[in-house]
C-alpha cells in the first residue's frame, strides 16, 4: 500500500541521514571535497593512482566521474580527504538519482548508474578509507568483492540496491570498526526487487561488535535460520532492518540488542503466530514493523511497555479489535498502521487517547458503525485512511472542524454520505483525497475549489451528476492521478481538459470512464507527457484515434477507449508505445486492418510484470477489463495485466502473425469484426493466454493444433466463423468442453460437437492419432494416395471392354435409358403433388 511504503522509505532515509550527518562526521574529519585548500600538501600519489585504476574498472556512461582527471584527487567528485593528512577517507559514489525515483521509475537503469564487470581491488591501497558508498548503481551480475574485507578502517559501508549477486562474502566480518552496513534494498520497496544476494550463515555478522546499523532487506536468509541469533550478539545495535529475508524468527530466551531503536522485520515468519515476549524487552524501540508476518492472538501488555514507540506497523496480519484497543494505551505513538487485519465491529473510542497521532491507517478491514467522536479530536492528524470497510454515517462540516493539519484523507468504499454546505471552506489543504464510492453528489463539490494542493483525487462512483466547473483545473500544478469514473459528468471533453487539465504536465493517471463526456479528444491532452494510465471508456466521444497519442504520450502503459464513437483506422503511431500493457479499443466504429506493427509493444513481449506505480502514491488506479465475458477490476495487481481487446468494430483483413510474438498476453479479444483468413498457426506461442475470443468473424480453415499447447487457456470462443476440419484434442482443450464455443462453424467436427469426424480423427500437437484398430493418419494417407490411380485404371479397363463387346454396350445404354425415364416420371409426380398442395 502506498502509505506504508512512504513511511518505510521515510524511516530508512531518516536512519541513513542520522548516520551520515551525526555518526560519520563525528568519526571522520572530512573537508568539503578534500583538505583545506590553504594546506601545503597534495594527494598521496599512490592513493590517487589507486582511484584512477578503480575508475578504469567502471562503466560510466553518463560521465559522472569526469572530474577524475588531472589535479589533486581532493577536488574530485565523491572524494573526501582528511583535513590534516590528506589521506582519502571517503569515497561516495552513490547514484545521484533520488531513492524515491529509484523505487518507482521504470527507467531507473537508464539513469546515471555506474556499472562494471568487476571492481578493481586497488581500493585496498586506500588504507585510511572509512566511508564507502556504492549504492543505487547497477553492478548486475557480479559478486560483492571479497577485498572489501581488507578495508579495516571502514566505519560506513553501503552497497544497497547496487545489483550485486551471489553469496555475501564472510570477509565483511573482518571490518571490526564498522558501524553502518547496508547491503539490502530500500525498505518498503513495493516493486518486486529481485535481489539475488544470499547468505547461508550470518556468523560473520557477530564479529562486527561496533555495529550500530544493519540493513539486510531482501537478502535470502532461508538457509541461515540461526541468523537472528548471530545478530542478537550485537549489543550496540540501534537499527536493524531484516525485511523479506525468508527468516523464521525465533523466541529468544535472552535479548542482547536491547539498544534497538528501529526494528523492521516484516515479510518473514515467526515460529509462533503470536507476538513474542522478547519484544517487550525492547523498551527503547521507536520504530517497529511486523508487517505481513501472519501474527495474531492476544498481545497482553507487550506494546504498553514500549513507552518510546513512535511508529507501529502491523499491516497484513490477523490482529483483531482487542489488539487495537490495547495499543490505544501507547500514548507516544505518532503513526499507527493496522490496515488489512481482522478488525471487526466499531473503532474503539479509546482511539482518542493517541493524541499525538499524525497518521492513522485502518483501511481494508471489517469495521462497521460510525466513527467515534474521539477520533475527530485528534488535532495532529495529517493522514487518515479508513477506506475499504463498512463504516456508516453522515459526515458533515463539524466532523472535520479540528483537523487543521490533515493532508491525506481516504474514506472510500464505505457507507458514508458527505453533506456540507456549498459555502464550506475546510480548515485543511489536502494533497490526497479518496472519496470513491461514497455519496457526494448530485452537484460537483464546490469546496474542492478551496483546495490548492491536491495531487491525487478519487471521486469515482460518487453520485455526481453535473458538469465539471471551469475552476477545476486550478487544483494543483503537480497532480499524480485523477479518478472521476462512474459518475454522470457531462459536457465537452474538449472544454474540460483544455480550461482545466491540459497544462498538468505531471499527471500520471486520468480516469474519466462511465460518464457522459462528448466531443473530440482535445489536442491539449498531448501536453500530459507523463501520463501512464488513460481511461476514457464508456463515454460519448466521437473522434478518430489521434496520432499524438503514440507520438507524445510515450509513457502510456494502459490505454482504454472502449465503448465510444471512435472511427477510422487504428493509427500506426500507437505502435510507438513500447510500455503499453493494456490496449482496449472495443465497441467503437473502427475500420481497416490490425496494424502489423503491434509487435512493437515490447512490454507485451515479456512475461514479467510491468513496473507501473505512482511516485509515493496513495491512489490505486482501477482497470476494468473483460475476461471471459465478465468485467473484472484490477488494482493492486495492475502491473501483471497484459491485454488487447479490439472487439465490436469493423476491422477487416487477417490476424497479423506479429501478434503471436506478444508472448506475455493474457487476453486477446478480436471478436465481432470482419476478420478473414486463417488463425495463425503459431498461436500456441501465446503461452500466458488465459482468454481468447475470435468469435463472430469470417475466419476460415482449420483450428491450429498448437492451440492445444496453451495450458493457461481458461476461456475460448471461436463461434460463428467459417472454420472447418477436426477440433484439436488433448491438453487444455479437453477441459473446454462447451459446444457453444465452436457453434456456427458448419465445417467443424469432433468433440465436443456432436458430429464426429471421418474415422474419428482429431489432430493433436503431439503426433498422429490412432483409430481403434491402431491405424494412424499416415496409414490412411497411403490409401488415399493410391485411390486416384486405381480408379483411373478401372475406368480405362471398363471403357476398353465396351469398345470391343457390342452386347455389353447395348445392355449398358438400355440401363441408362430406363434410369433416365424413371427419374423424369418421379419428377413429374412430385411436381403435380406440389401444385395441388399449393392450390
Note whether 358 and 335 are within 8 A (CB): yes
Angle between helices 777-804 and 806-838 (to 10 degrees): 110
> What pLDDT, on the 0 to 100 scale, is given for residue 99?
47
Contacts of 734 (CB under 8 A, 6+ apart): none
The domain defined by 453-618+645-658 folds into 3.80.10
Where in the chain is CATH 3.80.10.10?
1-271, 286-430, 453-618+645-658, 676-782
- Predicted local confidence at residue 834, as pLDDT: 43
pLDDT at 368: 97
CA distance linking residue 502 with residue 522, whole number of Å: 8
Given the DSSP bridges, would you call strands 650-653 and 180-182 parallel, antiparallel or unpaired? unpaired
**Cα gap 482→459, rounded to integer Å:** 8
The pLDDT assigned to 580 comes to 95
Q: How many angstroms separate the CA atoms of 742 and 721, rounded?
A: 9
Whole-angstrom Cα distance, residue 665 to residue 27? 55
The answer regarding whether domain 676-782 maps to CATH 3.80.10.10 reads: yes
10-residue mean pLDDT series, the chain (839 residues): 48 48 47 47 88 94 90 90 92 76 42 87 96 93 94 96 93 97 73 69 94 96 87 94 91 85 94 88 94 90 89 96 94 97 96 97 97 98 97 97 97 96 96 95 93 91 90 68 92 76 77 94 89 94 96 94 97 95 96 96 88 53 64 66 95 97 95 97 95 97 95 94 93 89 95 85 45 39 45 46 46 47 45 43
Please name the fold of domain 1-271: 3.80.10
CB atoms within 10 A of CB 169: 17
Residue-level pLDDT at 228: 86
Class level of CATH domain 286-430: alpha beta
The pLDDT value given to residue 733? 87
Residue 191 pLDDT: 41
User: pLDDT value at position 782?
Assistant: 41
The structure's pTM equals 0.81
Residue pair 240/265 in contact by the 8 Å Cβ criterion = yes
CB 196 within 8 A of CB 218: no
What pLDDT does 502 receive?
59
Is the Cβ–Cβ distance between 551 and 580 less than 8 Å? no
Amino acid at each position: 500500500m502506498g502509505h506504508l511504503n512512504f513511511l518505510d522509505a521515510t524511516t530508512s532515509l531518516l536512519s541513513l541521514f542520522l548516520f551520515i550527518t551525526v555518526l560519520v562526521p563525528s568519526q571522520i574529519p572530512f573537508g568539503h571535497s578534500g583538505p583545506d585548500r590553504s594546506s601545503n600538501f597534495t594527494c598521496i600519489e599512490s592513493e590517487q593512482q589507486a582511484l584512477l585504476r578503480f575508475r578504469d574498472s567502471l562503466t560510466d556512461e553518463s560521465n559522472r566521474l569526469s572530474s577524475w582527471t588531472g589535479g589533486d584527487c581532493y577536488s574530485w567528485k565523491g572524494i573526501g580527504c582528511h583535513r590534516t593528512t590528506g589521506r582519502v577517507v571517503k569515497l561516495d559514489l552513490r547514484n545521484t538519482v533520488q531513492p524515491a525515483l529509484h523505487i518507482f521509475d521504470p527507467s531507473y537503469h537508464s539513469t546515471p548508474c555506474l556499472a562494471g564487470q568487476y571492481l578493481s581491488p586497488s581500493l585496498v591501497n586506500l588504507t585510511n578509507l572509512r566511508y564507502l558508498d556504492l549504492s543505487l548503481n547497477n553492478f548486475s551480475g557480479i559478486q560483492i568483492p571479497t577485498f572489501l574485507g581488507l578495508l579495516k578502517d571502514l566505519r560506513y559501508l553501503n552497497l544497497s540496491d547496487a545489483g550485486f549477486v551471489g553469496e555475501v562474502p564472510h570477509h565483511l566480518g573482518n571490518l571490526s570498526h564498522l558501524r553502518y552496513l547496508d547491503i539490502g534494498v530500500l525498505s518498503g520497496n513495493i516493486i518486486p526487487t529481485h535481489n539475488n544476494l544470499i547468505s547461508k550463515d550470518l556468523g560473520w555478522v557477530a564479529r562486527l561488535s561496533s555495529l550500530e546499523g544493519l540493513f539486510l532487506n531482501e537478502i535470502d536468509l532461508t538457509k541461515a535460520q540461526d541468523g537472528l541469533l548471530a545478530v542478537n550478539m550485537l549489543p550496540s545495535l540501534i537499527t536493524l532492518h531484516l525485511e523479506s529475508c525468508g527468516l523464521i524468527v525465533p523466541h529468544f530466551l535472552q535479548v542482547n540488542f536491547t539498544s534497538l531503536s528501529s526494528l523492521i522485520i516484516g515479510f518473514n515468519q515467526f515460529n509462533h503466530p503470536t507476538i513474542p515476549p522478547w519484544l517487550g524487552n525492547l523498551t527503547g524501540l521507536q520504530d517497529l514493523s511486523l508487517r505481513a508476518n501472519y501474527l495474531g492472538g492476544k498481545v497482553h501488555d507487550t506494546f504498553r511497555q514500549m513507552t518510546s514507540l513512535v511508529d507501529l506497523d502491523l499491516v497484513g496480519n490477523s490482529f483483531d479489535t482487542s489488539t487495537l484497543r490495547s495499543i490505544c494505551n501507547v500514548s507516544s505513538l505518532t503513526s499507527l498502521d493496522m490496515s488489512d487485519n481482522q478488525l471487526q465491529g466499531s473503532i474503539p473510542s479509546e482511539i482518542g487517547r493517541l493524541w499525538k497521532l499524525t497518521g492513522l491507517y485502518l483501511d481494508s478491514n471489517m469495521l462497521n458503525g460510525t466513527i467515534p467522536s474521539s477520533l475527530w479530536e485528534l488535532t495532529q492528524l495529517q493522514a487518515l485512511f479508513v477506506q475499504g470497510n463498512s463504516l456508516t454515517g453522515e459526515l458533515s462540516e463539524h466532523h472535520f472542524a479540528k483537523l487543521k493539519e490533515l493532508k491525506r484523507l481516504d474514506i472510500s468504499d464505505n457507507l458514508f454520505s458527505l453533506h456540507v454546505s456549498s459555502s464550506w471552506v475546510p480548515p485543511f489543504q489536502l494533497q490526497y483525497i479518496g472519496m470513491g464510492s461514497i455519496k457526494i453528489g448530485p452537484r460537483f463539490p464546490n469546496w474542492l475549489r478551496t483546495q490548492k494542493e491536491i495531487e491525487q483525487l478519487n471521486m469515482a462512483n460518487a453520485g455526481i451528476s453535473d458538469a465539471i466547473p471551469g475552476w477545476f483545473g486550478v487544483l494543483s500544478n503537480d497532480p499524480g492521478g485523477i479518478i472521476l469514473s462512474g459518475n454522470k459528468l457531462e459536457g465537452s471533453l474538449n472544454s474540460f481538459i483544455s480550461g482545466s487539465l491540459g497544462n498538468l504536465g505531471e499527471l500520471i493517471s486520468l480516469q474519466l470512464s462511465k460518464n457522459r463526456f462528448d466531443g473530440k479528444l482535445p489536442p491539449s491532452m498531448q501536453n500530459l507527457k507523463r501520463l501512464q494510465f488513460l481511461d476514457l471508456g464508456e463515454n460519448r466521444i466521437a473522434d478518430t484515434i489521434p496520432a499524438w497519442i503514440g507520438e507524445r504520450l510515450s509513457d502510456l502503459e494502459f490505454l482504454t477507449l472502449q465503448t465510444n464513437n471512435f472511427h477510422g483506422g487504428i493509427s500506426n503511431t500507437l505502435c510507438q508505445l513500447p510500455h503499453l500493457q493494456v490496449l482496449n479499443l472495443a465497441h467503437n466504429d473502427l475500420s481497416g486492418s490490425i496494424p502489423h506493427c503491434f509487435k512493437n509493444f515490447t512490454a507485451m513481449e515479456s512475461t514479467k510484470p510491468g513496473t507501473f506505480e505512482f511516485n509515493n502514491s496513495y491512489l490505486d488506479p482501477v482497470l476494468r477489463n473483460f475476461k471471459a465475458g465478465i468485467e473484472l477490476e484490477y488494482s493492486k495487481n495492475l502491473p501483471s495485466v497484459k491485454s488487447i481487446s479490439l472487439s465490436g468494430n469493423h476491422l477487416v483483413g487477417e490476424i497479423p502473425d506479429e501478434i503471436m510474438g506478444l508472448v506475455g498476453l493474457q487476453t486477446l479479444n478480436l471478436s465481432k469484426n470482419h476478420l478473414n483468413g486463417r488463425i495463425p498457426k503459431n498461436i500456441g506461442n501465446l503461452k500466458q493466454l488465459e482468454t481468447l475470443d475470435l468469435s463472430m468473424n469470417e475466419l476460415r480453415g482449420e483450428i491450429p493444433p498448437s492451440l492445444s499447447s496453451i495450458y493457461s487457456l481458461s476461456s475460448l470462443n471461436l463461434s460463428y466463423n467459417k472454420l472447418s476440419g477436426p477440433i484439436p484434442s488433448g491438453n487444455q482443450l479437453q477441459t473446454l468442453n462447451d459446444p457453444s464455443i465452436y457453434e456456427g462453424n458448419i465445417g467443424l467436427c469432433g468433440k465436443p460437437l456432436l458430429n464426429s469426424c471421418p474415422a474419428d480423427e482429431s489432430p493433436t500437437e503431439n503426433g498422429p492419432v490412432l483409430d481403434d484398430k491402431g491405424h494412424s493418419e499416415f496409414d490412411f494417407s497411403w490409401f488415399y494416395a493410391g485411390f486416384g490411380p486405381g480408379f483411373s485404371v478401372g475406368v480405362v479397363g471398363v471403357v476398353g471392354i465396351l469398345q470391343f463387346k457390342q452386347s455389353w454396350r447395348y445392355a449398358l445404354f438400355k440401363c441408362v435409358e430406363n434410369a433416365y425415364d424413371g427419374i423424369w416420371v418421379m419428377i413429374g409426380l412430385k411436381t403435380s403433388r406440389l401444385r395441388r398442395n399449393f392450390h
